[in-house]
């Protein structure tokens, strides 16, 4: 099978049952994406597929041979962090770090959804959603953090979103 991950081509011989998550973790050495539940109940495996955030544990690798896949490793490096990665460090948006790659990938996807004007469960007006702390919390609720860095995660995302808006404006 052939895959495009973080802009790089990979060939892998894998069992048809292999999830996208296990493909990365067990076959390609991309262990940044985490397995917390393997059933779409925690969000630790969140990746961006064609720009959209999904649970990589609940999809088969074989179904993604034509897709652009982005994992935490493609987002930034230790030396060159993505703004959200840097904001998570600055605001302590983690503790043990296990849910963190998923949180950050999710946040990237989420901010893109906001940019598209998508509303959320807590939006009073579906046509013109506000962007505040409760919106960030609701939209990030698919990523469980048992260390409960939630307030810091919200703050990190809020700051990056505000910077992006400034740049856009």
Count other C-beta atoms under 10 Å from residue 18's C-beta: 17
Closer by beta carbon to other proteins, 2 or else 39 = 39
CB of 58 to other proteins, least distance (A): 5
Closer by beta carbon to other proteins, 160 or else 169 = 160
- State phi, psi for 158 to the nearest 5 degrees: -60, -45
- Closest alpha carbon to 47 in 18, 66, 22, 27: 22
Closer by beta carbon to other proteins, 147 or else 169 = 147
Closer by beta carbon to other proteins, 131 or else 142 = 142
CB of 162 to other proteins, least distance (A): 15
CB of 157 to other proteins, least distance (A): 10
Quote the tokens at residue 53.
């955030």
Taking the C-alpha atoms of residue 15 and residue 1, their distance in angstroms, rounded to an integer, is 10
CB of 166 to other proteins, least distance (A): 22
Closer by beta carbon to other proteins, 78 or else 169 = 78
Count other C-beta atoms under 10 Å from residue 124's C-beta: 8
Tell how many helices (H) and how many strands (E) occur in the chain: 6, 5
Quote the tokens at residue 78.
């230790």
CB of 159 to other proteins, least distance (A): 13
β-pairing verdict for 52-55 and 68-70: unpaired
């Amino acid at each position: 099978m052939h895959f495009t991950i973080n802009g790089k081509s990979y060939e892998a011989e894998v069992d048809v049952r292999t999830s996208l998550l296990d493909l990365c973790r067990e076959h390609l050495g991309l262990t940044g994406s985490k397995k917390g539940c393997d059933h779409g109940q925690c969000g630790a495996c969140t990746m961006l597929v064609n720009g959209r955030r999904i649970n990589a544990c609940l999809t088969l690798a074989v179904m993604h041979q034509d897709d652009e896949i982005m994992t935490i490793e493609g987002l930034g490096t230790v030396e060159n962090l993505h703004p959200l990665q840097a904001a998570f460090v600055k605001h302590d948006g983690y503790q043990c770090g296990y849910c963190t790659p998923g949180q950050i990938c999710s946040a990237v996807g989420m901010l893109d959804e906001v940019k598209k004007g998508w509303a959320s469960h807590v939006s009073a007006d579906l046509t013109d959603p506000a962007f505040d702390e409760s919106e960030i919390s609701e939209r990030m609720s698919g990523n469980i953090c048992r260390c409960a860095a939630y307030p810091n995660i919200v703050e990190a995302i809020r700051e990056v979103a505000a910077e992006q808006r400034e740049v856009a404006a």
